[in-house]
Chains A and B, each alone.
Chain A
Amino acid sequence: NAGVTQTPKFQVLKTGQSMTLQCAQDMNHNSMYWYRQDPGMGLRLIYYSASEGTTDKGEVPNGYNVSRLNKREFSLRLESAAPSQTSVYFCASILFTGATNEKLFFGSGTQLSVL
């Protein structure tokens, strides 16, 4: 099993360009998340999908859109990139069942720079 796979690992954009970050998990998880991490700060939730077919805003959704394409895939789109969106982006997934040991698993991250 690959776990949570994010692409690309690195990306440089010019202000105003658009791009999509891809995320896929092969653990049959129902919930998926996009976080951003800025230097010296924790992880802030951008958007999440509690289950296939649903998406909800997190703490910092402005400037982003998401698509839960199917149970495995959850993409994050920047329509018009801004320097303030320079950050490391993490995708994560979890299986919420109400049972014990519901652990969150992370992808390896995407380093995005917007010039």
Chain B
Amino acid sequence: GIQVEQSPPDLILQEGANSTLRCNFSDSVNNLQWFHQNPWGQLINLFYIPSGTKQNGRLSATTVATERYSLLYISSSQTTDSGVYFCAVSGSARQLTFGSGTQLTVLP
């Protein structure tokens, strides 16, 4: 199956700082999504982005499918951005595989 690697595994920021999270994948994908897991364990879908660029407020994401990576940008981070960010991908099968996540801590 497709392998998914996320980096960095941990990230600590001061409030107001910007950050970039990366997701590398090992094969062609037709579905790529970014999720945020909040401190209460709830998983929220941030972006569906198998290619191209999308923005939603302070968050944006870019996927370069030909080079097999995706980036999630968080600008002007807030303490509420803390949690774990996951990337998930699927290829020809309807099997969504998750990376191990980036643990983000935003300090006040």
Contacts and interface: CB of A to CB of B under 8 A. Distances in A.
Interface of A: 31, 33, 35, 41-45, 48, 50, 56, 58-59, 88, 90, 92, 94, 96, 100-106, 108-109
B50 to A, nearest CB: 9
Given A43-B88, A45-B97, A92-B96, 10 more contacts: A35-B98, A58-B95, A59-B97, A92-B43, A100-B48, A101-B48, A103-B33, A106-B42, A106-B43, A109-B41
B96 A105 contact: no
Contacts of B33: 103-104
A84 B9 CA distance: 24
Contact of B96 (A33, A56, A101, A109): A33
A91 to B, nearest CB: 11
A106 B88 CA distance: 13
B31 interface: yes
Count chain A CB atoms within 10 A of each CB in B42, B96, B97 and give the residue with the most.
B96
B100 interface: yes
Interface of B: 1, 31, 33, 35, 41-43, 45, 48, 86, 88, 93-101
18 contacts: A35-B98, A43-B88, A45-B98, A48-B94, A48-B95, A50-B93, A59-B97, A88-B41, A92-B43, A94-B96, A100-B48, A101-B48, A103-B48, A104-B45, A104-B88, A108-B41, A109-B41, A109-B42
Contacts of B35: 104
Contacts of B100: 41-42
